[in-house]
Chain A
């Protein structure tokens, strides 16, 4: 379980998060939505301790997060932009991350699943954006942690890989994991999320199920419901 308590963060004068309180339940898929620059990534990075908040606390399984970052052992994180050291090969990178984390990992099934076998010996700088994202997914899902955080997991993926990803997320959910995901692809979110949080101007605007959001905005599909919120707030 993740609990966020009164989280504040600004970059210079630019206030990104202004008092976020959130409780993410033990099991299920939790989607964080919001317009560009609403603080989705900042919130995720705060949970991971990559961003140092001005104010507020974050608790994971009741334990306050420590600045040494060792609690990340129980979190699998997929960064938004798949940036890797260019002079490493795919295989080397996987090996390195396994070595650094020092936990059990099962990468072979995932490599098969995303069809990465022909790329294993290629340098990361020579891979296309979509292939890099697949590598990114392998690196995230090869560990068996209780919490999975995915920042824009669909970026650059082809339809086959996207289906694979959806299946993968469903499988992880079935194992009883907590999955936190941000995305701009509403159909993707609609298909997988149990609960959504809508961030607007650094605050939580809405939290609940997709059904509740539809009722609140009198719209049939999620895309229109979100657009409705944004228009109302001139965002």
Chain B
């Protein structure tokens, strides 16, 4: 598996897209710091960007890489290598190169700006960890979609729809249901609904750490009240971890049964 990971990783590092992605984050980091002039404020702005954009890029990159490396996959399948190693190796190759672009692209401007002397370092680290997890989650989901759909156009559409649903529509539906059922106790429902959306979960995770109750919103407040800040933090992290493990496990399961 490590060999596959190595080749996928090198392949991606040599491709133009990784650099575009890296450059984008570098520019974003510098511009935010330039405009905000303050590390902790920039962290909050960055959170909003990361929570929407990282999933989108993870999804698109994941689907694109899967379809583009079809030939490579077929070549590997005829070699004495386990299927799970091939697919998990490729997945990790994509996810890790994206994570690397994210960490370097955002890390560099913040470090240059004096992150290490600032009190925002833990907030910033958590932001990067959340970004990394979101990348892992959405790349895994994208791989799942691609594995189930031979048709590229279909796969792409489903992937974009998934992102749109989790990033935008989910919140709308959630809010709507809160309004409709306002006479009922909604604490448990809210809690469960949050857990089923990794983007919401990440937002709450970061806001809990930043300790900005004004931005927590209803879901965050419930989360905070139910778990308390520190337990809330860890349980949110745990849920995100589950969001990585389950799709990756399904990649393995599906790859085992697929015909090539």
Contact = CB atoms under 8 A, between A and B. Distances in A.
Given A50-B259, A51-B260, A73 B80 contact: yes
Contacts of A108: none
B82 A11 contact: no
Interface stretch (A20-28, A64-72, A186-194, A211-219): A64-72
A97 interface: yes
A106 B185 CA distance: 72
A77 B14 CA distance: 29
Contacts of A50: 77-78, 259-260
B215 interface: no
A67 B259 contact: no
Contacts of A77: 78
Interface string B4-16: 1001000100110
Contacts of B80: 69-73, 101
A67 B260 contact: no
A84 B78 CA distance: 13
B18 to A, nearest CB: 13
Contact of A52 (B70, B72, B259): B259
B71 A97 contact: no
B78 A85 contact: no
Contacts of B78: 48, 50, 72, 77, 79
Nearest to A77: B78
Q: Which of A50, A51, A97, A99 has the most CB of B within 10 A?
A: A50
For chain A, the bracket of interface size reads 20 to 34
Interface in A178-210: none
B117 interface: no
B119 interface: no
Contact of B75 (A45, A71, A72, A85): A85
Interface in B48-80: 69-72, 74-80
B256 A67 contact: yes
Contacts of B83: 67-69
B3 interface: yes
A52 B75 contact: no
A52 B15 CA distance: 33
A85 B79 contact: no
A84 B75 contact: yes
Contacts of A83: 70-71, 74-75
A58 to B, nearest CB: 15
B11 A79 contact: no
Contacts of B11: 85, 87-88
Contact of B82 (A51, A69, A86): A69
Interface in B78-110: 78-83
A72 B71 CA distance: 18
A87 B74 contact: no
A88 B15 CA distance: 11
A97 B74 contact: no
Interface in A86-111: 86-88, 96-97, 99-101
A52 B258 contact: yes
B259 A87 contact: no
B75 A97 contact: yes
Interface of A: 11, 45, 48, 50-52, 67-73, 77, 79, 83-88, 96-97, 99-101
Given A50-B78, A69-B77, A69-B82, 6 more contacts: A11-B259, A71-B80, A79-B78, A83-B70, A86-B71, A100-B3
16 contacts: A48-B78, A50-B260, A51-B259, A52-B259, A67-B83, A67-B256, A69-B81, A69-B82, A79-B75, A79-B78, A83-B70, A85-B69, A88-B11, A97-B79, A99-B3, A100-B4
